[in-house]
Amino acid sequence: MSTTPQDLHVDARPARALTAKEIMARKGGTPIVCLTAYVTPMAARLDKHCDLLLVGDSVGMVLYGMESTLSVTIEDMIRHGRAVTRGAKRAMVVVDMPFGTYEESKEQAFRNAARILSETGAAAVKLEGGVEMAETVRFLVSRGIPVLGHVGLMPQAVHTNGGYGARGRTVDEWKPIIDDGKAIAEAGAFAVVLEGVAEPLARKITDEIPVPVIGIGASNACDGQILVTEDMMGLFAINPKFVKRFAEIGNAIESAIEAYAGEVRNRTFPGEEHTYKMRGANA
């Protein structure tokens, strides 16, 4: 059985997506709404409510049960990037560059970023890192590749940073994170994701850099917010401190499956209304 765009709630009419320039212009204005997306049906539902959809390397943990993002490949990101761009018409689609695809050199980063954009139709890439990645960001931007930065808690550096703990909770930790944010903004990133930092630090960075700061676990002082969609919908039992659960989809899914299993076992599903009848003389 085929699935049509109408089944997926995909608007078949062309629509203009938001651009990096338009996102950048939102600095200090109406907060930027961002969520993650990995598949077409979800992207289509998120699209009209969000300004930016991130095809995050969190896909490895959310959809594939990986323990971290480090095993995600560029092929994974391209596959899911394609799926999301099929469902998104208005929101800007950004694809994460996975671990090992940009750190070696700015030339390596360009080759892989260009491949991601050309093979997915996305509008920008995101990469993690601060001062040490500024030259790479500048190189990409100067060659026509919009970049979303990511500083603070950086999941791809989980081993070197000793885990996923929040950063900047003492003042002596602030300077390197501030320097990272400023370096990436000055290098030409159109916005910067700031993850897992104390509120006063988030406010200071947001005030001091000229591009939008999109927070995740960084308070409402930022210019916008992003969450993993499955987290905010309550799909998983574990709930990080910075996540508000706006729904309990996990419980609803389990209830639906339980009801289905019961009806199959007692033969009440499929019912008369779900069953095909004979036609014509054989009816």
Q: Is 96 annotated as a binding residue?
A: yes
Rounded CA gap, 102 and 12, in Å?
35
Contacts of 222 (CB under 8 A, 6+ apart): 31, 194, 202, 206, 212, 213, 214, 215
Q: Is 58 annotated as a binding residue?
A: yes
Rounded CA gap, 130 and 42, in Å?
31
Q: CA-based angle 135:141:144, to the nearest 5?
A: 145
Q: Look-up: residue for tokens 């406010």?
A: 203
SS3 at position 222: coil
SS3 at position 231: helix
Residue tagged active-site, from 132, 195, 263, 273? 195
What's the token pair of residue 19? 């651009």
Q: Look-up: residue for tokens 């309990």?
A: 248
Is 195 an annotated catalytic residue? yes
| Nearest by Cα to 57 from 45, 39, 73, 41 | 73
Q: Is 128 annotated as a binding residue?
A: yes
| Binding site feature residues | 57-58, 96, 126, 128
| Binding site feature residues for 3-methyl-2-oxobutanoate | 57-58, 96, 126
Q: Annotated active-site positions, please? A: 195
| Binding site feature residues for Mg(2+) | 57, 96, 128
